[in-house]
A and B are shown apart, each in its own frame.
Chain A
Amino acid sequence: MRYMLLIYANEAAMATAPSEKTYQISAAYGAYTEALKKSGAWLAGDRLRPTQSATAVRTADGKTNVLDGPYADTKEQLAGFYMIEAEDADAAIAWAARCPGASAGTIEVRPIWEMSDYPSAN
């Protein structure tokens, strides 16, 4: 099954962290990504720029409404993601627990809604 690991972290804390801590976290993510790739679980993954770079877009009555800022104002923000292939929920949860972000923030594990999960037409 494919799973999305959504990494939620406290942006403000990350921004003010001393540089050696930032370096240590980056190194940990590097090792984690490498481990995912070596074991064949990695499908995709990237870090997102902070929510100050976010733009929220909605359309209504034919007009496009563009807002400066994230969709929701929350304590922890979406900071990055991995898309992985895992045998089952246990394997996906195990990968989420290894993610460096799990010790400081929250990793949300979401199964992908595969095309084959849609009911067939008949």
Chain B
Amino acid sequence: MDNRPEIARAAAEAAARQSYGKLVAFLAARTRDVAGAEDALADAFAAALERWPQTGVPEKPEAWLLAVARRRGVDAVRRRQTGEAARDHLKLIAEEVEARMTDEELPDERLRLMFACAHPAIEASVRAPLILQTILGFDAATIASAFLVSPATMGQRLVRAKTRIREIGIPFRVPERAELGERLGAVLEAIYAAFAEGWTDPAGTETRRRNLATEGIWLGRLVASLMPDEPEAVGLLALMLFAEARRAARRSPDGDFVPLAEQDTALWDDTLIDEAEDLLERAAAKEIIGRYQLEAAVQSAHTARRRGGRTDWAAIRQLYDALLALAGSPVVAINRAVAIAEDEGAAAGLAALYVLGDDKRLDDYQPYWAARAGLLARLGTTGLAAEAYDRAIGLERDPAVRRFLQEKRAKLTML
């Protein structure tokens, strides 16, 4: 099968998004008007998405977009009637940007735009969608389908967030050292949220979702390259690459769920894993520990199996201990309990899990019930295990995982 046209198309699309994001960021950083910047470039971006896959990426992609934006812009703005703002942007394109474009590179303001999108005054749940739209040019409908909300709702949230950026005067600035940690955390969290939404489609059957994982990694690469001295930015990229490296192994040829411990290591992407290991080492050398580095280290320990090694559960457990101390969450606690079970036995793991028992958030949290069912099954308490499997099955939204859990439960009753 010849997939070269497909690859060329993807490359052209990536280039279009790259140039578009740079231009939106450049204009928005000067005006604080994200919607106006998007409007001014909308038609040019659509034209690039359509044309570049056929003609190839122009030599100066940003200049190409600007020229088209100017040529088509005035009419388009008149048609959309969003009026003044977009027209101001077109003027800005004409004056400042084009003057720069002649000899020097356009300054990359995307990091500043990302910090504006992930500002604490912007509602947390809209930060990732906002970054996907402003930096990568995805439309509201595509983002909505990935985040499982209606396009109308997503559209409203995005419009509101952009209005807030302009009206309340959110700065386009990389924060000062003192508050950088927390603020960078919000940016990384948004990027990870985008990646995770894509990750939930392991088979890659839903193009929109699969792309989101790729875009998450792309954003992670961007931030890691713009802030190479921030260990957590580098750590997040490592974490995403470790996960992405196992994508092909997560489903059998028939589309069945394959748990990590049973994955065929030959299907793991060694190049990605090697890159992730290098990144993790580079981050760790800074000796400032953080959530993403720890999670990447867990992934690293899991991939030890590819060179014939055994999974070092004691080490994984220690990493989860550190994660729990750093950023305790039910998710971390559950993973830690599973590691304890592998390290010390199912009873110890179950004890660690039961400590969480009265946390109301776990009532509808599938991984808790799946972990609990697995450990109860290993201890031979079939009745309780079956109950827990039922809860887990009822809470799962991925059919392949649901089938996997149902098979586990069926084996239970045969004993």
Contact = CB atoms under 8 A, between A and B. Distances in A.
Contacts of B173: 88, 90
Contact of A89 (B83, B84, B170, B175): B170
Interface string B350-368: 0000000000000000000
Given A89-B119, A93-B121, A119 B84 contact: yes
A1 B169 contact: yes
B167 interface: yes
B171 A88 contact: yes
B109 to A, nearest CB: 15
Interface of A: 1, 3, 86-90, 92-93, 109, 111, 117, 119-120
Nearest to B121: A89
Interface in B155-188: 167-171, 173, 175
A73 B173 CA distance: 40
B168 A111 contact: yes
Contacts of A86: 169
Nearest to A86: B169
A111 B171 contact: no
Contacts of B175: 90
A60 to B, nearest CB: 32
Contact of A88 (B84, B120, B169): B169
Nearest to B122: A89
Nearest to A93: B121
Contact of A111 (B83, B84, B120, B169): B169
A51 to B, nearest CB: 27
Contacts of B120: 93
Interface in B52-110: 83-84
A111 B170 contact: no
A89 B168 CA distance: 6
Interface string B112-141: 000000011100000000000000000000
Contacts of A90: 170-171, 173, 175
Contacts of B83: 119
Contacts of B170: 88-90
A119 B88 CA distance: 13
Interchain residue pairs A-B with the least CB separation, the first 8: A88-B171, A88-B169, A89-B169, A1-B169, A89-B170, A89-B168, A111-B168, A90-B171
Contacts of B84: 119-120
Contacts of B121: 89, 93
Contacts of A87: 171
Contacts of A109: 168
A17 B120 CA distance: 33
A66 to B, nearest CB: 34
A10 B119 CA distance: 29
Contacts of B167: 111, 117
Of B83, B167, B168, B175, chain A has the most CB atoms within 10 Å of the CB of B168
Nearest to A120: B84
A111 B83 CA distance: 23
Contacts of A111: 167-169
Contacts of B171: 87-90
B180 to A, nearest CB: 12
15 contacts: A1-B169, A3-B169, A88-B170, A88-B173, A89-B119, A89-B121, A89-B168, A89-B169, A90-B170, A90-B175, A93-B120, A111-B167, A111-B168, A119-B83, A119-B84
Contacts of B169: 1, 3, 86, 88-89, 92, 111
A64 B167 CA distance: 35
Nearest to A90: B171
Contacts of A3: 169
A1 to B, nearest CB: 5
A87 B121 CA distance: 16
Of B84, B119, B169, chain A has the most CB atoms within 10 Å of the CB of B169
A88 B170 CA distance: 6
Nearest to B167: A111
Given A87-B171, A119-B83, A120-B84, 20 more contacts: A1-B169, A3-B169, A86-B169, A88-B169, A88-B170, A88-B171, A89-B119, A89-B121, A89-B168, A89-B169, A89-B170, A89-B171, A90-B170, A90-B171, A90-B173, A90-B175, A92-B169, A93-B121, A111-B169, A119-B84
A120 B88 CA distance: 13
Contacts of A120: 84
Nearest to A2: B169
Nearest to A92: B169
B241 to A, nearest CB: 33
